[in-house]
Amino acid sequence: MTWLITGGAGYIGAHVVRAMTEAGERAVVYDDLSTGVAARVPDGVPLVEGSTLDGELLARTLTGHAVTGVVHLAAKKQVGESVERPLHYYRENVEGLRVLLDAVTAAGVASFVFSSSAAVYGMPDVGLVTEDTPCVPMSPYGETKLAGEWLVRATGRATGLSTACLRYFNVAGAATPELADTGVSNLIPMVFEKLTEGAPPRVFGDDYPTPDGTCVRDYIHVADLAEAHVAAAHALTASPGRDLTLNIGRGEGVSVREMIDRINTVTGHDRPPAVAPRRPGDPARVVASADRVTAELGWKARHDVQDMITSAWAGWIRLHPEAARSRSS
C-alpha cells in the first residue's frame, strides 16, 4: 500500500507519516508548507509541495506515486481565525476536500481516512461524548469538519470508497523532540510560552460547573493518535467498503487548572494561573467515549497526561533553550 498523507509536514501529519512508515507502509507527503515544516518529512519519503485546491497536481501525484490510500489532514484549524475568516476556512477545508475527493475517485484510490475533530459536537451536555451525540458545531472551523464528514461519507456511498472519519479530541505531546508542536494555540504550549516569559499561565474562566471551576477536556498523545490512523488504514484495507466514524480520545477528563498544576511540576515552575474571563463558546466539559474505536480497530491509547507534558516540554526546550533557565523559585 502507498498512502498519500496531506498535511504530512505538520505536527500531527509528521507523526502519522512516522507511524505509517514504521508499520511498513509506503508514504508520500503532500503539503503546501504554510504551517508544515519540510524537515519533518523523513528521508526517503517523497514530499510534494502543493495545495489541495490544485486538482491537476493532486491527480499527477496520485497516479505518479501509484497511491492506493489517502490520509487527509491538511486543513486550517484555528477556531478564532475561522470566525474572522469563514469564507477562507470553507474554501480551504471544504472546497479543498472536494477537489481532493474528485482526484481520489478519478484515480481509483480505494481508502480514505479523514481528519475530523471533536469541534463537530459543539457544546455537548453529556458526561461522555459518543459518536451518536448530536453534532452542533459552534464555529466555522467545526462546521467545515462536519461538512467534510458529509462529503467523505457521501463519496463513499456513491463510489465504494472505504472511509474513516476520525474525530480528534485535544492532541498533545510528541514522539520525539523534533516533531513537537511549534504552535501556541493549544493549552500545553500556551502554558509553556507564559512560563518561559516569566508570566502566569492563563485560565479562561473558573466558574464552570466542574469540580474546580475550570473546563475539563480529554487529552490524547499525538503518538497514540498517529497509531489510530494506522489502525484505521489497515481496517479499511482489510475490509473494503467500510464506513467508520470514530472518536479518538482517552475517555478521561482533565481540568485546565489540573493540567497547569501538572505542567508546573514537570517543568520545575511554581506559577499559579491568572484567571481571565470566559471565552465565548467554550463548553464546560468535553470528554470522549473511546469504546467504539476499541471495538472497531482494537486500538487503545497507551500514553498518559504525564507522558504528554514531559515529551512536549522536551520539544519546547529544543526550540526555546531559554525556557530551561526560566524556572521560578
Residue positions annotated with a catalytic role: 141
* Residue 241 neighbours by CB under 8 Å, 6+ apart: 160, 162
130 three-state secondary structure: coil
Contacts of 149 (CB under 8 A, 6+ apart): 114, 116, 120, 165, 245
Q: How far apart are CA 39 and CA 37, in angstroms?
A: 5
Count of C-beta atoms within a 10 Å radius of residue 318 = 14
Question: What b/e sequence results for 29-49 when a residue is b if at least 16 CB atoms lie within 10 Å of its CB, and e otherwise?
Answer: bbbbeebbeeebbeeebebbe
Q: Give the cell for residue 256.
A: 485546565
Please measure the distance between the N-terminal and C-terminal CA atoms of the chain and give it in whole angstroms. 53
